[in-house]
Every structure is written in C-alpha cells, then in structure tokens.
Structure 1
Amino acid sequence: MAIGELVRRHLVDTRPLRSPHYRRLWVGQAVSHVGLGATVLAVGQQVWDLTHSSLWVGLLGLANLVPLVVFGLWGGAVADAVDRRRLLLTGSAVAWAATLLILLQAVLGLGNVYVLLGAVALNATGFAITSPTRGAIIPRILEPEVVPAANALNSLVFSIGAVVGPMAGGVLLASGGYAAAYGMDALLFTAGLYAALKLPALPPLGEVTRPGARAVLDGLRFILGSPVLLMSFVVDIIAMVFALPRALFPELAATRFDGSTVALGALTSAMAAGSVAGALFSGWVGRVSRQGLALVAVIAVWGLSVAAAGLSRELSLVVAFMAVGGAADVVSSVWRQSILQLYAPDEMRGRLQGVFMVVVAGGPRLGDLRAGATASAFGLTTAWVGGGLACAVAVLVAGLCVASFRNYRAGEARA
C-alpha cells in the first residue's frame, strides 16, 4: 500500500464538516476552547500563588464537580423536553457570565480564593447545561454513519484548544498577568455563542418526559440495564480518578523546573498535544470491531504512560509520556461517545449525555481532588506514579471480568 493511501486511510474523517450547522459549531468550539485552555491554566496558577498548596488547587476540582453533577443530570433531562437550541444558548450565557466574573476579580485584584472558587463553580454550571445539550444535538444534525467522525473532530478541536490555550495562557501570564489570560477567554467565547445562535429550532422528538427526578432516574435505569454502557462509564472513571495528575502540574513546575511558566504551559498542554495527534490520525478508530476490549487496552496504556511521566526528571520526557497518554485518551473518548449517542433513542439522548458529561467532566475533578490530597499526604511522586499504576491494574481487572463488555462489538444493541 502506498504511503499516501495509508495516511489517507488513517487521517480524521472530515465528512461531518459538510453540514453548515455542524461546521459552525465545530469552528465555534475550536475558537472558544483556546480561551478556555488559557483560563484553566491561569486559574490553577492563581490558586497556587494564593495558597501554595496542591490541595487547594485540587479543590478547584470539587468546585467544578458539584455543579457538574447537579446541573449536568438536570440539564440532560431538560434537553429531552425543550428546544435544544434555546437551552444551549441559556447555558452558554451562564458560562460567559462566569468567565466575565473571573476576569473582573483579576482586574480588581481581589486575591480571594473563595471568590475564585465560586466563579469557577458558576462556570461549571453553564458547562453542565451546554455539554449534554450539544452532545444530543449532534445526532439531530448529522447522519448516523458520520457521528463517530464528528466525535473525532470534536476531540480534535478540544485537544487543539487544550494545547494552544495553555501555551497562550502561559505567555499572557508572563506578559500581562491573570487579567490578560481571562480577557482572551471572554473574547473568544463569543464564537461559540454565534454558532449556537445560527442553529435551527430543535424541538424534542418522540415521547416527551417532564424534566425532574423521575426523568433522570429513567436515564440512570437505562444505563444500569446495559452492562456495556455501564462499563464504558466505569473504565473512564477509573482512568480519570486514579491517574489524572493535572492538579500536580503547578507543584511539579515549582519543584522540578524552577517555577517556569513555560514549563507549566508545556505540562498543561502535553496530554492535549497527544490528543491532537491521536484525533488527526483517527481514521482507523471506526474500523475497530472489538471496542470493549480495545477500550480496556487504551486506558491501560494511559495509566502506564502517566506513571512513566511521573518517574521522569527531564521536562521533554514528561511531556512525551503525557502525550502518549493523551493519544490513548482521545481514542477512548471517541469510542465511548459514539456508542452512547447511537445506542439511545432521541428522547433519551439528553439524559444519557448528561450522565456522560458528569462522568467525563466530573471524573477529572475527582482526579484533581485525589491527586492534590494524596500529594499532600504522601508526596508528589507517590501520588503521580502510584495513581497511574493503580489505573492500569484496576481497568484490566474491571474490564476483563465483565464478559459482555469484553466481547462487545461495534454496532451491537442491548438485547
């Protein structure tokens, strides 16, 4: 096979971009996620500067987690009962207001960690509403056969934002301080708002269930009734809670790399750089049949890569191992999201996307808390390396012991 043909077979599938609605959403996310990446870096560094404690940096995860759980589940239920375009705009307005509040506290020089945590929690509320809504919109504006490709493209722009954003944030921190980084986020966020405004009306289809506790419980019962779906959540929780070292980046930069903001930016963007590469060459992902077994394998690779990064003393090696982990993570994300979107009927997609968002976004916040707490108790290296090794062992045990998940093949439906 010629090299050119081999590359084309593995490059990301761009067919979803033929849809103008999806194309605007994709470009809007590509732009706004650069600003988000800058804010993620700046908020973590600001909390570290205020407290000099990895535990406080880890508490940013808790500030995100509570709104993500509460409003993610509720937002998913609402997305199944109302016009999804209108709900996406509402959640985006909340997130933008929170970004402006984070900017304001920096401009005023408040230096209050509690105000910062509160603003982060409000931002998480907006994200908790928009994320499941956007996930439920994708199958409405695209044909089913290109949904996995759309998820790969989404992962690509998220990852690019997570690379470019922190690097730009590091430069802005060094030259203009926190307000410059937060100001860029507030400006770039408008691209996502414009994309949401240009969507058509998306009223609910099929049977409409009134939003509330009963609707949320119906979604949870749907997941619990399918071991394949349930295990797809479990293995992701294992990956993020045990192995994510994000809350340790400021301490690592301070203790091993002389507090360099460039090093901090490289650490923050390393995993995303690997995700970019993994998403760019994701054309093969849709051709994998044994997706359950493959998920176990790539998450084990993620855990071992994190452990290797924690043992490395050179910045280049830490970045390289975290990039390998990022490539494994993006492949896992594409498979899990595609299974969930195509498995559920439209009237259930919002709720299941809400649960997916809680796991995908909430798991890393628990991981931040776990990393910060264990680093404070046992030291940086133990928290970092031990978490990666525990992830690899736990996912192999959990994933391989559930036969229906281990034997799952792409396209199979629940019996």
Structure 2
Amino acid sequence: MTGSNADEERNRAVETPGSGQQAPRARRARPSATPSRKMSTRPRPQTAAPDSNSEDEIAPVQTLSVEIQPIGGIFGTPNPVMSDDDSPGLIGRMLRRRPVAPKSSEPGLLADIDFRMLWLSRLLSQTAQGALLYALLILVVDLSDRTVFNSLFVICSIIPSIAFGLPAGVVADTVPRRGLLVLLNLFRFTFMLLLVGSEVSLAGVFAATLGIWVIHQFYSPTEASVLADIVEPARYTSAQAMFNLALTISQALGLVIAAPILLRLGGPKLVFVVAGALWLVAGALTALLPALEEHRTRRRGAGRTLRQMLGDGWRFARSDRFTFEAIIDDVLVGVGMSALVVIMPFYLERVLGTSKENTVFVFAPAAFGLVMGIRLAPKLANLIGEQYLATLSLFLFALVVAALGFVEQTYDFLNDTLLFPLDQLTNAVGVSPLIFVAMLLSIPAGFASAVVNVAARSILLSRTPASLRGQVIATQGLMGNIAALIPTVMAGIATDVFGVKPVAVGIGVCIVIAAMVAHMLGRRSADLPNVVPQT
C-alpha cells in the first residue's frame, strides 16, 4: 500500500507539468484578438521547470508582452492597440500625436516670470506710444490748416529709421540689453516731462515726434533680441505670437480707448502725463529682467570698421536663404499694407460708395482676423513648418488684396455660386452688399498679415546668432521702410491714372511676383543654408 501510494503521487508529479502546458498554449493563441492586458500576464512559476517544450512555447508570450507593453515612451502613446489602421492619413497622424505631445503639460509662457515682465513692459510701452502719437497727430491738425504738415508728421516716423536703423542694431548687439531698455524708457519719460513743462507748439510737436521715433529705432531691435535671449528656441513662434498679441492689445488701448478719453478729460497734457507714467513702469519692469550679456562675448568687432559692422546684418541675411526669404515675406506684407492705406479712402468713395470716414468701420473685422492669426500661427507652424507658413500666408494676403479689385464678382460668386445668404445678411446688418464683401475680405487679410509676421520673425530669431540679432532686425526694419516709399507714392499716382480697382489688383500681383523673385534669389545665393548657428 505504501509503495503504491508513493508511485501514484510520483505519477501525479510527472503529469502536473504536462497539464500546466495547456495554459501557455491557450494564452499564445489569443494575443492577436485579445487586449494587451491579457498578453502581458507573466508566466507562472511552474513554467520554470527544466522542460524544453515549455520554454519554447512561453518565449513568444514574453516577446509579445515587451513589444506591445506601453513602457515609458518607447512608442510614445498610452494606448498600445494602434495597429488597426495602417494608413491613418494626415488627420489620423495629427490625432495620434496630440495625446503624447510633451508640451501638453508645459506651462504657458506667461508663467515664466522673465517673459511675463518683458511682455508687460511691451504692453505698457506700446500703449503709451500709441496714445502719444494719436495726441501728437491731433495737435498737428489743430495747430495747422495745411495737409502738408500731416505728411511731414508721417515723414518724421520714416527718417529716424533710415538714419539710425543700422547703428541702432549695432548698439543693441554691443551694450547690455537690459540696461539699454531701462535707459531708453527713462529717455521717453524725460521727453514727457519736457512736453508737460513747456508750451505746446508745432515745432515742439515735430521735435517730440522725431525724438520718440529715434528712441524706438534702438528699442525695437533690443526688445526683440531680449525675447530670443529669455525664451527657448523651440518656443520662439509662440513667444512671437504673444508679443504680437501685446502689440494688438496696446494699439486698442492706446489709440482707440486711452487717447480719445484722455484728450477729452484733460487735453494733451494729461496724455503726456499718463504716457510718461506708463514708460516709467515699463522701465521698472525691464530692470527686473536677468542680466543679458551673452551676446557681448561673441562679438567679432575687433579690427573692423564701423561701415563693416553696419553691413553685418545685411550680409548675414543675404547669406542665409531661410532668413532672407522670411524677411522678404514680412517686408512685402508691410509694403502692401502701406499701399492699401493710400488707396483706401478712394476705394471707399469710388467703389463702395461710402464716405472715407467709414474706413475704420469697414475694415474693423480685420482685427478679428489679426487676433485669430496670432493665436493659430504657432499651431500652423507645427503642422506645416514656419517657412511654408510664411510664404503661403503671403500669397493669401496678395490674393485678398487682388480680390478687392473684383468685389462685385466676389459677391456674385459667394451669393449665386456658393449660395451663401449674403442678401439676407446684408439686409440684416444694414450695409450695402459691396461693403459687406469688403468687410469679409478684411478678415483673411488681417489673418494672413499676422501669420506672416509671427512666422517670419520666429525664423529670424531662431537662425540668427545672438551677436547679430539686433542688426538683422534693424536691417529688416530699414528694408521695410525703404521698400515702402516708392510703392506708396506710385499707388497714389496710379490711382488717379488707372482707377482704384486696377491698382488693388496690381498690388496683389506685384506682391506675388516680388516674392517669387526674392525666393529665387535666396536659393541662388545660399550655398550652405544649414551652417547657421542656433542660439
């Protein structure tokens, strides 16, 4: 009895491994149709028995578990079951990337104290400048009866750029940038003290206008360079979008809200006081920025003449294809905007049949497109790339400008072909059909101009070394002002000769042709586009 019992127990021990082999077989047949948690089940301790068949069958289960298990970012997705769609397409790739983007938990730019200080200083300084320029223009109108002084007021904003643009870029790349921003804000505050303490005169207004714009030539490239110094290169597009948003808000606060109210309450003196106070606060905010002197250690000015240093910005921009194309895209949008400003009063009277005083009302929807462009530019840049985004947005801007010359045909196409209820909308809004179409066209125009500026400036900041950023930005400003002079004058003359609508079409066509020529020149001159240092 005892021997037979021992034999029976020995037989059970031998049969147990065989029976345990059935479970691995069942588990191995299920992975292709079973959720991953089933496949990731670890083998039982019994399988460690020295049985060659058992080891051969368990090994595939272990391999599948490692390949499909979502281990810390090997595949970069929290969901391991992704193989059902072999060709997801563009939308599918976008949807799959979004949950795993490392930036989802990244704090916003305004959460960074350095960027927040710089952003607030820009908001306050630009608000002060907008309110001051509005007040100075009203003073020019009140103190003189000749329109030539209005043109002289505009010229006062162009001359400083031509005379001081390039030297200002050299200064921005040579001296400590934080100290320079503080000093320039103090200069602005001093100007306001002088205006408050003196009698208002036409000569004083023009002197103040020249002084403010001279300071601006030094402030603008320095401020943009500081932005690149305190923000990571991967976030340049978002940072530039936030910078443009601050500018848009400041224009609304300074030009539309603050200046008219302050002029009614206390006259120009009150505007000078408020502007000076805002610049004083902006100077205090820039003083809180960290020391920014890295660019000074990379200067290459030893043994070089001033003329050579003044041309550094242009030579770098001309040698780097992507920087050159981005600058040209941004400059062409500025040229187109300047030409539109000239023809818009005639366009409203001769084409839309309304008074030129309604310019702000007709093109107010452009502000909506501007804000949308600022907000969407970073996402679009991540989707198609900054270079393509800037160029395509430029073409969109040119198309919209040219469409102003076919406003009647555009209305018929939208209303009759696409069956948009424009007749009902125009009756509900109470405006003429042509004015309504012009308002609609202003939305993509504002959108495209904002996107071009954000994408182009982001390219410039990312590809320009820290020791040359100020000069390249100053070179872009100088190119924009010079390039806008001749087209602005020619647009006014051509309007009297050919009419408004042909000139609008011509502006759009010229923008496209100039962009294509500039891009061909950029590709021809840049032999090594990828050797530009990143800072």
TM interval, short-chain normalised: 0.7 to 0.9
> 1:214 corresponds to which residue?
308
1:51 deviates by 4.8
Q: 2-side partners of 1:363 and 1:266: how far apart? A: 30
Q: 2-side partners of 1:39 and 1:318: how far apart? A: 31
Mapped contact 2:369–2:446 kept (Cα < 8 A): yes
> 2:283 corresponds to which residue?
193
Mapped contact 1:242–1:390 kept (Cα < 8 A): no
> 1:20 corresponds to which residue?
113
1:374 deviates by 3.7
> 1:232 corresponds to which residue?
326
TM-score (norm 1): 0.77
**Where do 1:95-110 residues align within 5 Å?**
95-98=188-191, 108=200, 110=201
1:325 deviates by 1.7
C-alpha distance after superposition, 1:89-128 (max 9, x if no partner): 22223344455667778x73x3x3x543332221111111
- The secondary structure found in structure 1 opposite 2:174 is coil
1:356 deviates by 2.9
Structure 2 unaligned segments of length 5 or more: list them. 1-90, 408-431
> 2:472 corresponds to which residue?
352
Q: 2-side partners of 1:47 and 1:301: how far apart? A: 37
Mapped contact 2:132–2:259 kept (Cα < 8 A): no
Q: 2-side partners of 1:300 and 1:248: how far apart? A: 20
Mapped contact 1:41–1:169 kept (Cα < 8 A): no
1:349 deviates by 1.9
1:347 deviates by 1.7
1:171 deviates by 3.9
Q: Bigger shift: 36-45 or 220-229? A: 36-45
What residue identity is the alignment partner of 2:517?
Answer: A
1:231 deviates by 2.7
**Where do 1:280-319 residues align within 5 Å?**
280-308=375-403, 318-319=438-439
User: How well do the aligned residues superpose, as a CA RMSD in angstroms?
Assistant: 4.4
Q: 1-side partners of 2:141 and 2:503: how far apart? A: 18
Do structure 1's residue 324 and structure 2's residue 324 form an aligned pair? no
**Where do 1:372-383 residues align within 5 Å?**
373-374=492-493, 381=500
Q: 2-side partners of 1:372 and 1:399: how far apart? A: 21
- The secondary structure found in structure 1 opposite 2:312 is helix
**Where do 1:236-247 residues align within 5 Å?**
236-244=330-338, 245-246=340-341
2:517 pairs with one of 394, 398, 402? 398
C-alpha distance after superposition, 1:152-188 (max 9, x if no partner): 1101111222234332157438835861555544443
> 1:340 corresponds to which residue?
460
Mapped contact 2:262–2:271 kept (Cα < 8 A): yes
1:287 deviates by 1.0
> 1:275 corresponds to which residue?
370
Q: 2-side partners of 1:103 and 1:5: how far apart? A: 60
Mapped contact 1:243–1:387 kept (Cα < 8 A): no
Q: 1-side partners of 2:441 and 2:258: how far apart? A: 22
Q: 1-side partners of 2:494 and 2:146: how far apart? A: 13
Q: 1-side partners of 2:401 and 2:278: how far apart? A: 31
1:274 deviates by 2.7
Mapped contact 1:302–1:328 kept (Cα < 8 A): yes
Q: 2-side partners of 1:266 and 1:162: how far apart? A: 16
Identity percentage of aligned residues? 19
Mapped contact 1:85–1:201 kept (Cα < 8 A): yes
Do structure 1's residue 138 and structure 2's residue 227 form an aligned pair? yes
Q: 2-side partners of 1:390 and 1:17: how far apart? A: 40
Q: Bigger shift: 179-188 or 375-384? A: 375-384
Q: Bigger shift: 128-137 or 62-71? A: 62-71
Q: 2-side partners of 1:194 and 1:250: how far apart? A: 42
Structure 1 unaligned segments of length 5 or more: list them. none
Q: 2-side partners of 1:197 and 1:272: how far apart? A: 32
